[in-house]
Amino acid sequence: MDRCKNRNGKHLPVELNKYEKVTMHYLWMVALFLILSDGFACFVTAQAVFNRKLFISQVVLFLVLLFSIVLRVVIVGKTPYKPGFFYALMKTSDILLLLLLVTTTRYGFLFYFVILLPIISICISRGFAATLPYICFSYVAHIIILYGRLANHHDALKNVFFFQHQLWRLAFLTALYLFFTVGLRILGTYHDQFTQSEKDNRNLVDKLGRKYAQLEEARKEKQDQYDKLKEVNLQLEDTNKKLTSSIAEFFTLQQISQAISSIFDMNELLQFVNDVIIGVMGVSTSNIALYDIGGERLKVQVSNIVHKKDRAILTDNINTPYLKDAAEHGRTIINNSVNPDEFDFTRGRNVRSLLCVPLQVKGKSYGLVLIEHSIPEAFGEDNVRLLEIITQQISIAIDNTRLYEQLQEFANTDGLTQIYNRVFFQNRLQVELKRAQQQGYEVSVILFDIDNFKRFNDSYGHLFGDIVLKTLAQMLKDSIRQDDIVARFGGEEFIILLPHTGMDFAFEKAEELRNMIEKLTIRDKTISASVTVSMGVSTFPTLAQNETVLLTSADKALYKAKNSGKNCVRVANHNM
C-alpha cells in the first residue's frame, strides 16, 4: 500500500486522503440540506415568519464552508494530507462552521449528529485517541455558541418544557456528546483493525522476501537472462538522458516512464501510452498492435477508434504486407499523402496521413504503433523522432514484462524435475477448490511417492536417483490432461490435481499411471532399473470438505497403500 510520512518520519497510510475526500464531498451537501430543511420546516409549520438576517447568515456560513472545501480540494489534489497544524485547523473549522450552521436553524437540535462528520473521518483514519481533542473542542464550542448571541433564540428545543431551563439543555448536550464519544470509540476499532492488517501485510512481505532469497540460489542458471535485463535497463537510462533536448518531450516521456514503473497490467499500460500519444501529437487515431502468441499475426491491442465499422476495417487488414514488413524489419513508415486504394486498412476511414513505428528491442519485434490523421502533411521529422523514442520505451516495457513472466514461471517450477513445485500447487489448489465450490463440480488429487527410494538411492547413487525423478516427472507430464496439474510435493513425493474429476475416474487414472510406472525401465549408461509407487486418492467434496482435509486424507490413503504392501492405489474414506 502507498504511504506518506509525517514530520516525525512515521508512515501514514494514504487511506487518510480517501476518507478526507469523502468527507469534503458530503459536507457541502449536508450544509445545504440543513438550510433547506430549516426553511421548509418553517414554511410548513407556519410557526415563524421569514427571517432575512438569519437566512443571510446561513447562506454566508454555507459559502464559507463551500469555499473551504474547494480550497482543500485544490490543495489535496497536489499534496497528500499530513496530520499537523493545517490538518487541525481544517478539521476545527469544519466543526465550527457546522456548529454555527446547526445552531442557527430552528430545528437544529435534530441534526446535532452532522457535527460528527468531520470527526468520523479522523476516527477511521487516525484512531479514537486522535478524535478526543476535536470532541472536546466541539463540546466547548457548542456550549459557547448555544448560550451566546449567535445562537437561534427561537430554537424549537426550547418549546419542550423540561429543556426551557439552561441546566436541562446543558445536561442534554453533555449526554449527547457522551453518546457520540461512545459511538466513535466503537468506530475506532476499524482503525485498529486496519493498523493490524498493515502489520500483517508487512510481515507477509518480509516472508515473501525471505522465500525469494532462498530461490535466488536456484536462479543462477537464469544469469544470462538477468544480464540481458541489466542491458535493457542501461539502454533505458541512456534513452532518458537523450530526452533532455526538449522540455515537452521530456515531460511526455517522464509520464510514460512513471506508467511503466507503476502499471503492471500490460493492457492498462498500452492504453495509457496510447492516450499520451493522442494528446501530445494531436492525431485523429492512434493504434497499438502486438504479435499473437505464435508471433505470426498482428492483433490490434489498443485503439481509440470508436466507430465499429472503422475499427473492423483496421482489425481485418492490420496484417497487410505494408505494415507487417515494417514491424518485422524495424522500419519506420511515414506517408503524408495516403491513397486509400493502396492501403486496405485506410479505405473509407478518411485517413490522409499516417506514421507507423515498429516495437522492437534487441532485434526482436513485438508489434507496431500506427497513428493517423485526417489532414495531409500532418507528420514531420520531430513526430517521427518522438514516436520512435516512445515506442522504444514501450518495447523495453514489453520485453521486461516477458522476462518477468519467465522469472515467475521459474519461481513456480521445481529446479530438478521442471514440473510445478509445492507452493504453486497449493496456490492453484485453493483457486480450483473455490471455483469448484461455486460451480458445483468435483476435484480429485493423487498423492504418491516412490517405494523404497532411500534404499534405491543407496544402491544406485543419488545422481541416478535424480534421473529417476526427472524421468518420472516427464512421463507424468506426458500422461495427464491439459487442465491437470502435476507437481513435486517434496523429496520423492508427487501430487496430481484433477479438476472436474470424480473419485472413480481418479482411481482409474491412478491405476493407469501406477501400471505405466511399474513397466517403465530407466537407463543411464550401464545402470538399468525400474521403480514402483504407492498412491493415495481423495476427492472434494465427496470425501473432503476443504483443502486441508483433502490433502490429509490423500496422505493417509497413501500410507494405507504403503501398509498394504506398496505398489498399489488406495482411496480415502470419510473416516480418514
Concerning whether 231 is annotated as a catalytic residue, the answer is: no
CATH number at residue 378: 3.30.450.40
Sign, CA dihedral 54-59-60-64, equals: positive
- For the chain, what is the domain count? 3
**Average pLDDT of adjacent 10-residue blocks, the chain of 576 residues:** 42 50 68 71 59 73 76 63 71 80 70 76 77 84 68 47 58 80 79 75 81 75 75 73 57 71 73 84 89 82 90 90 86 90 88 91 84 91 84 79 70 85 91 94 95 86 88 92 91 94 95 94 84 95 93 94 94 77
Residue 93: partners with Cβ closer than 8 Å, 6 or more residues away = 68
| Helix H or strand E encompassing 303 | strand 298-303
Q: Judge if 313 and 437 occupy the same domain.
A: no
Residue 538: partners with Cβ closer than 8 Å, 6 or more residues away = 444, 445, 447, 544, 550, 551, 553, 554, 557, 571, 572, 576
Between the CA of residue 454 and those of 402, 462, 522, 561, what are the distances in Å? 40, 9, 17, 18
Q: Judge if 557 and 435 occupy the same domain.
A: yes
Last residue of a domain, one of 196, 213, 229: 196
Q: Is residue 576 part of a domain?
A: no
| Residue 111 grid cell | 441534526
Last residue of a domain, one of 375, 409, 443: 409
Q: Judge if 261 and 315 occupy the same domain.
A: yes
What is the reported pLDDT for 105? 73
Q: Judge if 433 and 402 occupy the same domain.
A: no
Q: Is residue 226 part of a domain?
A: no
In the chain, the amino acid numbered 246 is S
What is the reported pLDDT for 352? 92
Q: Is residue 475 part of a domain?
A: yes
In whole angstroms, give the CA distance from residue 285 to residue 300: 13
Maximum pairwise Cα distance, the chain: 111
What is the reported pLDDT for 78? 56
The residue annotated as part of the active site, out of 249, 372, 492, 511, is: 492
With beta carbons less than 8 A apart as the criterion, state whether 126 and 191 touch. Answer: yes
Q: Judge if 401 and 427 occupy the same domain.
A: no
Q: Is residue 241 part of a domain?
A: no
Q: Judge if 405 and 438 occupy the same domain.
A: no
Last residue of a domain, one of 352, 379, 409: 409
Report which of 360, 327, 362 is spatially closest to residue 232, judged by C-alpha positions.
362
What is the span of the domain harbouring residue 146? 3-196
What is the reported pLDDT for 10? 43
List, for residues 38-58, the tens digit of each pLDDT value: 666 666 655 555 667 767 777
The distance of Cα 211 from the centroid of its chain, to the nearest Å, equals 22
How does strand 569-571 pair with strand 485-490? unpaired
With beta carbons less than 8 A apart as the criterion, state whether 336 and 376 touch. Answer: yes
Q: Judge if 381 and 479 occupy the same domain.
A: no
Q: Is residue 171 part of a domain?
A: yes
Q: Judge if 73 and 45 occupy the same domain.
A: yes
In whole angstroms, give the CA distance from residue 469 to residue 422: 15
Q: Is residue 90 part of a domain?
A: yes
What is the reported pLDDT for 21? 66
| Residue 15 grid cell | 487511506
What is the reported pLDDT for 215? 77
Report which of 104, 410, 386, 420 is spatially closest to residue 245, judged by C-alpha positions.
386
Q: Is residue 181 part of a domain?
A: yes
List, for residues 510-553, the tens digit of each pLDDT value: 999 999 999 998 888 788 888 999 999 999 999 999 999 999 99
Q: Is residue 210 part of a domain?
A: no
What is the reported pLDDT for 405? 66
CATH number at residue 521: 3.30.70.270
Cα Rg of the chain, angstroms = 35
List, for residues 308-362, the tens digit of each pLDDT value: 899 999 999 989 888 888 888 888 999 999 988 888 889 889 899 999 999 887 7
Q: Judge if 441 and 399 occupy the same domain.
A: no
With beta carbons less than 8 A apart as the criterion, state whether 531 and 451 touch. Answer: yes
In whole angstroms, give the CA distance from residue 572 to residue 553: 6
Which residues lie across from 315 on neighbouring strands?
A: none
For 347-398, what is the HEC assignment?
CCCCCCEEEEEEEEECCEEEEEEEEEECCCCCCCHHHHHHHHHHHHHHHHHH
Q: Judge if 518 and 432 occupy the same domain.
A: yes
Q: Judge if 441 and 381 occupy the same domain.
A: no
What is the reported pLDDT for 261? 66
Q: Judge if 185 and 268 occupy the same domain.
A: no
Q: Is 501 helix (H, G, I), strand (E, B) or coil?
A: coil
